[in-house]
Chains A and B, each alone.
Chain A
Amino acid sequence: MLNISNLVTEFASVKALNGISFSAKPGLITTVIGANGAGKSTLLRTISGLERPTSGSIKWFDEELTTKSVESIVRSGIAQVPEGHAVISQLSVAENIELGGLFRKRKVRGDLEVATKEVYELFPILFERRNEPAGSLSGGERQMLAISRALVSRPKLLLLDEPSLGLAPLISAQIISIVNELCRSTGLTVLLVEQNANTALAVADHGILLALGKVVADLPAKEMIADSSLRAAYLGY
């Protein structure tokens, strides 16, 4: 269970997150939606330790994350797929995937091979192109690679930052549906940040609507889809 309470993250006295509280249940998809600048990316970057909160707490079961380093947070089973299909374009596809599992190579070499095989089965195109530089991949393939890099670390919580950004609708639907299947088949907990509310709410169990650094709605996904006044007020459609 991910528990966030009264989280405040400031950039030069601008409160990007202004007292956020919600929780994400294990084994389910929780989506955080909101317009540009609502604080969605800052929220994920604060959870993964890339930004330090001014106050508040983030708890993953009994572990307090706000005092831990980025590396330790990843090692405790929380993997972030950053915005913009973040892969290292000069490294090969295989090296990008290897990187994700490197920190546990000495302990669980066998499982790492299994995990690598699994992501190649999930995304066969990556296996075909495993020796090519990641920079030569298309946007969708890069996103698949970024997700694969996170998956080989065997996360319990996957943080996805706008996976559909800049992708063709068909490709982004495919990626979201793969994430959905993963969550349902493996019990992975997913926190999905999306600007595209329809796509995200279609697969999510629960929705959190952010506006200007605050939670304005915290509802089961179905109710959020049905609430047209909420969408009109905050998402503009």
Chain B
Amino acid sequence: MDSFLSAFFSGTAQGAIYALVSLGLVLVWRGAGVVNFAQMGQAMFTTYIASQLIQNNYSYWSAFVIALVSGAILGAIVDLGLMRPLMSRKNSQLLNSQSMRTTIPVIASLGILGVLKALAGILWEGEERGFPSPVPANAVTIGSTNLAITSFDLFVIGVVFLALVLTTIFFTKTGMGLAMRASALNPEVTRLSGIRVGSVRTLGWVISGTASSLAGLLVTPKTNLSPNTLDLLLIIGFTAAVVGGLTSLTGSVLGGFIVGYVIAFVNVYSAPENVFIAILVFLLLALFFRPQGILGSKEVRRV
């Protein structure tokens, strides 16, 4: 029972982080049609910024906020500085073919990942370092009983829960949220409604950058920080996004938690070295049995 509970709680805490990564990937995929391989590179970079600030005696929370803001700015820079100029080049033979239109931004995102890793290596010498958490990683106790959850896990779950509530309110209750949903579903009708779809797309990159920056801040107290630390997180987040159907925001969050539980239970009941295999098998099963995602319905075309 104890090992079940500990798997459940660590699955929830890890799943919460995967949910953020997956949400970030899906936001950019829906809005811009790009799988952003640089996403966790951006998160790695902003976590280094936070780490540097903390070393310079800034408080944890001010470093936390500055890292999130940098994540947002980095997202905007990637879109405005690279993706948009790249895709709007006039008279380009390459851009006339649909397959290149989808391939070019993916390659560009790999390029950004490389640049960010190299920059982090230059600026911070690429050494692995710890990253602090604002709460200790002690088990939570009630009376004298140790619960199978640490206060750090509770902190992660709480922060992600808050972030998800804010995101949900943004998407369902605000005009800008409606504009984002609409332009992902049907860009032409949205443009014909007078909405600047380009700006809406940039906002998608911004929110995605912020969400993954948050994921970086929450995962590194356990994993430490180096230019390559967050690579695995991207793969797990991608699996979660596929499980969620790639286009549904709710699905992407659910996918994050499901993958979190799969990993946690494999970890506890099997062995940590089987986790990679488990993720891969799970990804294949998801693609095989529910390629449309857990929430998705098969696409129906009206004629």
Total inter-chain residue pairs, C-beta < 8 Å: 66
Is the CB–CB distance between B194 and A103 below 8 Å? Answer: yes
Interface SS of chain B: helix
Is the CB–CB distance between B188 and A99 below 8 Å? Answer: no
CA distance in complex: A153, B191 (Å): 13
**Contact among B175, B181, B196, B197 for A105, CB-based, below 8 A:** B175
Is the CB–CB distance between A88 and B185 below 8 Å? Answer: yes
Given contacts A82-B188, A91-B185, whether A71 and B194 have CB atoms under 8 Å apart is yes
Beta-carbon nearest neighbor of A50 in chain B: B188
A100 to chain B minimum Cβ distance, whole angstroms, is 5
Q: Is B195 an interface residue (CB 8 A)?
A: yes
Is the CB–CB distance between A99 and B197 below 8 Å? Answer: no
B-contact bits for A48-74, CB 8 A (1 contact / 0 none): 101000000000000000000011001
Q: Is B268 an interface residue (CB 8 A)?
A: no
A70 to chain B minimum Cβ distance, whole angstroms, is 4
**Contact among A48, A71, A153 for B197, CB-based, below 8 A:** A71
Is the CB–CB distance between B193 and A86 below 8 Å? Answer: no
> Which of A79, A102, A149, A150 has its CB near the most chain B CB atoms (within 10 A)?
A102
Beta-carbon nearest neighbor of B190 in chain A: A99
Is the CB–CB distance between A99 and B196 below 8 Å? Answer: no
Q: Is B211 an interface residue (CB 8 A)?
A: no
Is the CB–CB distance between A86 and B179 below 8 Å? Answer: no
Residues of A within 8 A of B179 (CB): 99, 102
Is the CB–CB distance between B182 and A91 below 8 Å? Answer: yes
Q: Is B192 an interface residue (CB 8 A)?
A: yes
Q: Is B162 an interface residue (CB 8 A)?
A: no
CA distance in complex: A99, B194 (Å): 9
Q: Is B56 an interface residue (CB 8 A)?
A: no
Which residues of B (187-212) have their CB < 8 Å from a CB of A?
A: 188-197
Residues of A within 8 A of B193 (CB): 74, 99-100, 102-103, 149, 153
**Contact among A75, A87, A95, A98 for B194, CB-based, below 8 A:** A75
Q: Is A90 an interface residue (CB 8 A)?
A: yes
Beta-carbon nearest neighbor of B181 in chain A: A91
Q: Is A80 an interface residue (CB 8 A)?
A: yes
Q: Is B178 an interface residue (CB 8 A)?
A: yes
Q: Is B98 an interface residue (CB 8 A)?
A: no
Which residues of A (99-145) have their CB < 8 Å from a CB of B?
A: 99-100, 102-105
B97 to chain A minimum Cβ distance, whole angstroms, is 13
CA distance in complex: A92, B193 (Å): 16
Q: Is B186 an interface residue (CB 8 A)?
A: yes
CA distance in complex: A90, B179 (Å): 13
Residues of B within 8 A of A99 (CB): 178-179, 182, 189-190, 193, 195
Binding site for B on A (CB under 8 A): 48, 50, 70-71, 74-75, 79-80, 82, 86-88, 90-91, 95, 98-100, 102-105, 149-150, 153
Binding site for A on B (CB under 8 A): 175, 178-179, 181-182, 185-186, 188-197
